[in-house]
Chains A and B, each alone.
Chain A
Amino acid sequence: MFDNFINLWHGFAIAGDPFNILLMVVGILLGVIIGVLPGLGGANGVAILLPLTFSMSPTSAIILLSCIYWGALFGGAITSVLFNIPGEPWSVATTFDGHPMARQGKAGEALTAAFTSSFVGAFVAIIMITLVAPLVAAFALKFGPAEKFAVYFLAFCSFIGMSKEPPTKTIVSMMIGFALAAVGLDMVTGQLRLTFGFEELLNGFDFLIAVIGLFGIGEILLTMEEGLEFRGKAAKIDAKVVLRTWATLPRYWATSIRSCIIGCWMGITPAGATPASFMAYGIAKRVSKNGKNFGNGEIEGVVAPETAAHAAGTSALLPMLALGVPGSPTAAVLLGGLLIWGLQPGPMLFVEQKEFVWGLIASMYLGNVVGLLVVLTTVPLFAAILRIPFSIIAPVILVICAIGAYTVNNNVFDVVMMLVFGIAGYAMKKTGYPLAPLVLAIVLGDSAEEAFRQSLLSSGGSISVFWANPLVSTIMGLGILALVWPLISNAMSRLRVAQPA
């Protein structure tokens, strides 16, 4: 481990080069812009810019690209908070409390909390990478299909019962999500499902299109109905908002630590930042004493998902480097980059390319500090956007949403789909069906089904594979506990009422 510190020190010398620092700032700014535009995700951004980096040294190139990635992770929160439109899949959970805060005129606080927790999550993940990289890689290898399914199961269970709506509506919404996730090619049999001969449906329903439509367009429709008024007080613009928010954040240390653990774990396994953010939000709602107020603009509801998302996004780079398995779509594109620069990700990378690996890890530390400084200075600026009249900003949002939907697959049909999802989102909101379970099911439905069927294939159809070893049984056990927890806590509170002290 001492070796790691010496290597890291060398890494800082490489990452601290003025040219590399400049690349960091450029990368973060580009990333924030990419993160703000829904649809143009980190993966797309990195893919577009990848060819530009071929003339740089591999270390400089990965610093630039990974900083775009950090920037996108930071930037995804901005539109979630301001307009209820998640800029990135992992910031969907940030909308639940972030947007209500903005409506109460606390956009500055919400953004500060989001950025700061992102930073905390990432920082903890980097420290973990520095200290225990080899151990973590070994842990990730233990995850076969059954273990992966158990993780998804836990994500779903920790989410059920978190919405204010009746459980039946939650389940209906989740089932619609599963049905939509099933459209397209069935990976296990290689057959098309539910496409009804429409070529447009070959790719299934992209999660981003659904999110942009359900949240973005749905929200605009609702606001229009309420008379073209922005449903929020104009935020007071005050540079001190950052400091004031910081003063309150240490109160949520328990939520932060919990979210960091969830995030690191989900990033390594690799399930990714999106399930991590949902899971952290769901668990925080259960455990926190402010849990009842979640969804009404509770700052803790912003801290939990943002910390987890960033911790997961950062730790996702570890399996990519150590095993060659990308933990996120963006990591997948970076992986392609590594190969072009002549670096083979895998167990030998840490041995043979020390300079590159530790240069990258050092740049994660510096990049995140630079990133935090850059985005925090923009808080008052972004909060000021809410002062623009709705009738001007709404068309702009619509156009950005349409561009975003188009960019996902370069397909006009997706823009139409987005509008359909928008109307569905509006109808669901009016009838009190929660959107979040639907979104969660679209995101994880495919992967969960795949893992479930892979497990059954390898066990010859026996369901006992889900408690075949201590690791998988523990995760499944936690999932079941999370599922029945509301019943238990209900029963316990009833017991307490029944036996007055």
Chain B
Amino acid sequence: MKHLHAFGLGVAAALGLSAMTLQPAAAWEPTKPVEFIVPAGTGGGADQMARTLQGIIAKHSLMPTQLIVINKSGGAGGEGFLDVKNSKANPHKIVITLSNLFTTPLATGIPFNWKDLTPVAMLALDEFVLWVNAEKPYKTAQEYVEAIKAAPDGQFKMGGTGSKQEDQIITVALEKAIGKKLTYIPYKGGGEVAVQLVGGHIDSSVNNPIEAVSQWRGEKVRPLCVFDDKQLTYTDKIVGDLSWSSIPTCKSAGIDVEYLMLRGIFMPPGVSKEQVAYFVDLFKKVRETPEWQQLMKDGAFNQTFMAGDEFKTWVEGAEKTHKGLMQEAGFLAAN
């Protein structure tokens, strides 16, 4: 009997406790404007997504206060991440991430790590596609690879965004896969890379779909393969009979390279579970809006959504992958 009593008490206490913790879970709401840090410049992929989110949240009144987008792009985004890291327990601040969440601390030694932040949710994954100028004769990835292999090292030029970041990581992986060197030329933004490709100043790019789609529709560039393990799912026609889904995977073309970029949300360290839960819930609502669906379609995003431990495990894995890739490429900072 005694045991039962104790058990009963325990249950009651547990119920009471969970009721106490559940109560604020439903109640926490931002009480002042929420800063939305973009660790990249205006006009890029992360910035576009952040501003779309801001627009959707404002239009559908999903939040009682305003969401304010602030770009902190210094030091390859390090400035933005440090700002979030140093805003301990501030629930009115969120940050959108690119791959620079992993690459910036590894390449520059700027002192932060994703573990310094609180993971909230994965909104989507951004795909990468190998593009060439439409006037070039290469119709498939195989043909292009043959041409690279036939030429001396460094003759073919690959343009990409930034240095020692995702585009260059893919380029190095590509070099490894085909056993030939390319000349990597870094530019400031993905749109600029796409235009340099159209102008014939570089031979190929690994632009995200949204960065190059308009040039593709104008038949100025041609997609050869997508760096994912399966083909894209979007079947809307873009040029003639071609759609995103008609691009083969690079793996099927003999280039064993896969890369997806995280578009996720993090918060400062030390925020409560309820505060995180509020934002997870908010972004779930955002995902149901037609504007978000349209953005996903335009940019041929991989719409995987994750939160909680599942997301944390994913980020851990992604960090390891990046460390491995960057170590192989010799991109780690000296210290």
Contacts and interface: CB of A to CB of B under 8 A. Distances in A.
B215 interface: yes
B220 A54 contact: no
A219 B332 CA distance: 46
A143 interface: yes
B4 to A, nearest CB: 59
B163 interface: yes
A342 B154 CA distance: 39
Contact of B52 (A189, A340, A345): A340
Interface in A20-72: 43, 47, 50-51, 54-55
Contact of A43 (B42, B58, B76, B295): B42
A377 B42 CA distance: 34
Contact of B157 (A54, A345, A458): A458
A485 to B, nearest CB: 31
B243 to A, nearest CB: 15
B263 interface: no
Contact of A202 (B75, B184, B196): B75
Given A324-B195, A326-B43, A346-B215, A190 B165 contact: yes
Given A184-B75, A190-B162, A54 B217 contact: no
Contact of A458 (B185, B191, B213, B215): B185
Contacts of A145: 185, 201
Given A185-B74, A339-B48, A347-B218, A54 B59 contact: yes
Contacts of B195: 140-141, 323-325
Contact of A326 (B58, B70, B191, B202): B191
Nearest to B184: A457
A470 interface: no
A286 B109 CA distance: 48
A144 B214 contact: no
Contacts of A54: 55, 58-59
Nearest to B291: A340
A324 B194 contact: yes
A73 to B, nearest CB: 18
A189 B215 contact: no
A336 B162 contact: no
What are the 7 tightest A-B residue pairs by CB atom distance, in nearest-first order?
Answer: A346-B214, A203-B74, A347-B218, A202-B75, A190-B163, A144-B201, A332-B43
26 contacts: A50-B51, A54-B55, A54-B59, A141-B195, A184-B74, A186-B163, A188-B186, A190-B186, A191-B333, A192-B108, A192-B109, A199-B79, A202-B82, A202-B110, A323-B191, A323-B198, A324-B214, A326-B191, A335-B191, A336-B42, A336-B48, A346-B214, A347-B220, A348-B217, A450-B188, A458-B202
Interface of B: 41-43, 47-48, 51-52, 54-55, 58-59, 69-70, 72-76, 78-79, 82, 107-110, 154, 157, 162-165, 168, 183-188, 191-192, 194-196, 198-202, 210, 213-215, 217-218, 220, 291, 294-295, 298, 331, 333
Interface of A: 43, 47, 50-51, 54-55, 140-145, 184-192, 195, 199, 202-204, 323-326, 329, 332-333, 335-337, 339-340, 342, 344-349, 409-410, 450, 454, 457-458, 460
